[in-house]
Amino acid sequence: MKINNNEYYIKILEVIIIYKKILLAIDGSLHSNNAVNKTVEFQKILNCKVLIIHSIKDNRLPSDLYPNVKVLYSRYNTLDEVYKEAGEKLLKSTKQKFGTAQDLVETRLIEDISPEDYIPKVVEEEEIELVVLGSRGHHSKIKKVFLGTVSTNIAKNAPCDVWIVK
């Protein structure tokens, strides 16, 4: 039986790497979007489950979320509402990128814990085998200077494989 190149590479991947569950951390940045695209392609090959998370703790400024800040303040009572709505939209649009595999994709908006703290915890609790995230994102620049980037912290502390995408 003759197999084509794609089938051959898929068989090799199945033997070498078997990820059953991937955590994809997103924040809407360019590098995060690149991580989404890579994960969508990877998920097609592996046909695995994907958990997409977005944390609104220590997030970016509202002007990065919506172009018209004045409209924001007339629509919402608190800044948390702004972040929640923007986060839900981001999660929904990201899930849609998985097309027909959406039934294997779960989304979570993380409100009260930073991604650096949430990711290692959920990786252990839910037996996630791979974390995918962008190398730089939309988080406090002051925090980055003193504590490092989210991706650096996850690479150091996650108890599984980590794929950092530029």
List, for residues 9-27, the tens digit of each pLDDT value. Answer: 666 665 566 799 999 999 9
In a domain, 34, yes or no: yes
Residue 9 counted as domain residue: no
- Evaluate whether residue 45 is within a structural domain: yes
Dihedral sign computed on CA atoms, order 29, 31, 36, 37: positive
Domain count, the chain: 1
Give the pairing of strands 130-134 and 21-25. Answer: parallel
Cβ partners under 8 Å of residue 65, min gap 6:
82, 83, 86
Residues 98, 108: contact at Cβ < 8 Å? no
**pLDDT of amino acid 70:** 57
d(CA 68, CA 31): 24
Answer left, alpha or beta for residue 99, where phi above 0 means left and psi between -120 and 50 means alpha: left
pLDDT at residue 74 greater than cutoff 80: no
Q: What is the mean pLDDT of the chain?
A: 82
b/e string for 129-155 if b means 16 or more Cβ within 10 A? ebbbbbbbbbbeeeeeeeeebbbebbb
The CATH number for 25's domain is: 3.40.50.620
Report yes or no on 71 lying in a domain. Answer: yes
* Residue 11, in any domain of the structure: no
**Global pTM value:** 0.80
Give the list of residues 6+ apart from residue 34 with CB closer than 8 angstroms, or none: 134, 165, 166
Question: Could you tell me if residue 8 is inside a domain?
Answer: no
Q: Is 121 among the domain residues?
A: yes
Helix axes 5-16, 30-46, angle to 10 degrees: 100
Considering the domain boundaries, does residue 15 fall inside one?
no
Query: For residue range 80-132, what is the model confidence (pLDDT) as tens digits?
Result: 788 888 899 999 999 999 999 999 999 999 998 989 999 999 999 999 999 99
Tell me, what's the pLDDT at 146? Answer: 40
The residue whose two tokens read 């999660």 is 91
* φ and ψ of 125, to 5 deg: -65, -35
Structural domain that includes position 123: 20-140+152-165
